[in-house]
């Protein structure tokens, strides 16, 4: 399943490949994360491929980890949307909890942007689809809490799916989960060089995409997902994230001060100014200053993108 956290530890697990997990026939190892192993498998009952997310044996005895895993299952099972990876089943295998998920052939949106180098309009269109997944989740009182380009897949069928609601919680709750999973390579380097990054790992999310309230461990609401969404879209459009910092505290200070980094000159002209303004509001340090909801944000982003394209078309026609 694209988007799984491939690591050097895969080789060591190949010898331990189970023949089946529950009723699912295991085909191959797809990836290894901090608390789970991902297998590609076959569902003979429904004749379809699935991705199996199995809680690692060394973590299975931890009640908090099991509770988080089961919460992920319940969260995802509640969300039926074309842009959200489906969960088919939750069960146990030799004392380990597993999830059977929709298997998606494709690439993450990070990979897509880097490899395909799509046009600005295409990038915005794909992320609008991802944003609609968040909008649907928020309508169901669920936050993702770790939205980033590595957690969004573009399937070979052309459909965008958001995955890994492992950090999700009800918007009515206040619980937090610890995680070191899914750090991007750049953040892993930063963690190695700057232990200060660990200061906020105890709160859910990946530091570079976290809202200020998540960095500080304050109560959160869906506007934290909105912030992460805007960081992600900004990064896709401009090739770098809006707030500088090699540690969590440096990033948090930049957010708190509103120090949005000036985009590279070669990218600046290619993105409509109105699009940038929409994203800047979503990047506000205080959640009250962001968009009221993903619905308003997505509507404004779509309008800004269309207006920018029309302006360029008019300018091109005028220049001919």
| Residues in the chain, total | 320
Determine contact, residues 166/18, Cβ cutoff 8 Å: no
Contacts of 157 (CB under 8 A, 6+ apart): 105, 106
Q: Which CATH class is domain 10-102?
A: alpha beta
Q: Which one of 146, 150, 164, 225 is the catalytic residue?
A: 146
More confident call, 55 vs 267: 267
DSSP 32: E
How much is the average pLDDT of 89-116? 90
DSSP 18: -
* Assigned fold of 106-312: Transferase(Phosphotransferase); domain 1 (1.10.510)
Judge whether residue 249 has pLDDT over 70.
Answer: yes
pTM as predicted: 0.79
Residues of the chain with pLDDT > 90, as a percent, come to: 54
| Mean pLDDT lowest among 12-16, 152-156, 169-173, 195-199 | 195-199
Judge whether residue 101 has pLDDT over 60.
Answer: yes
More confident call, 108 vs 182: 108
How much is the average pLDDT of 163-187? 46
Domain boundaries, the chain: 10-102, 106-312
- 221 noted as active-site residue: no
């Amino acid at each position: 399943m694209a988007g799984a956290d491939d690591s050097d530890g895969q080789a060591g697990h190949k010898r331990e490949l189970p023949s089946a997990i529950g009723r699912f026939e295991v085909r191959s190892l797809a990836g290894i994360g901090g608390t789970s192993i991902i297998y590609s498998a076959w569902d003979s009952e429904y004749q379809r491929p699935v991705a199996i997310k199995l809680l690692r044996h060394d973590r299975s005895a931890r009640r908090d980890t099991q509770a988080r895993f089961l919460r992920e299952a319940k969260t995802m099972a509640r969300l039926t949307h074309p842009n959200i990876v489906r969960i088919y089943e939750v069960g146990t295998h030799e004392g380990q909890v597993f999830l059977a998920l929709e298997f998606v052939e494709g690439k993450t949106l990070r990979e897509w942007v880097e490899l395909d180098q799509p046009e600005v309009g295409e990038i915005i269109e794909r992320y609008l689809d991802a944003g609609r997944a968040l909008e649907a989740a928020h309508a169901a009182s669920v936050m993702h809490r770790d939205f980033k380009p590595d957690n969004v897949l573009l399937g070979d069928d052309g459909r965008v799916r958001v995955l890994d609601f492992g950090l999700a919680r009800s918007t009515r709750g206040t619980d937090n989960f610890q995680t070191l999973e899914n750090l991007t390579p750049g953040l892993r380097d930063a963690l190695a060089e700057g232990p200060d990054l660990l200061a906020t790992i105890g709160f859910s999310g990946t530091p570079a995409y976290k809202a200020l309230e998540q960095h500080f461990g304050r109560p959160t609401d869906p506007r934290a997902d909105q912030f992460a969404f805007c960081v992600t879209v900004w990064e896709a459009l401009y090739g770098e994230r809006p707030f500088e910092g090699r540690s969590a505290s440096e990033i948090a200070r930049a957010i708190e001060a509103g120090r949005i980094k000036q985009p590279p000159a070669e990218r600046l002209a290619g993105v409509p100014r109105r699009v940038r303004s929409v994203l800047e509001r979503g990047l506000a340090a205080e959640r009250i200053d962001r968009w009221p909801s993903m619905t308003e944000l997505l509507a404004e982003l779509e309008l800004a993108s269309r207006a920018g394209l029309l302006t360029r078309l008019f300018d091109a026609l005028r220049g001919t």
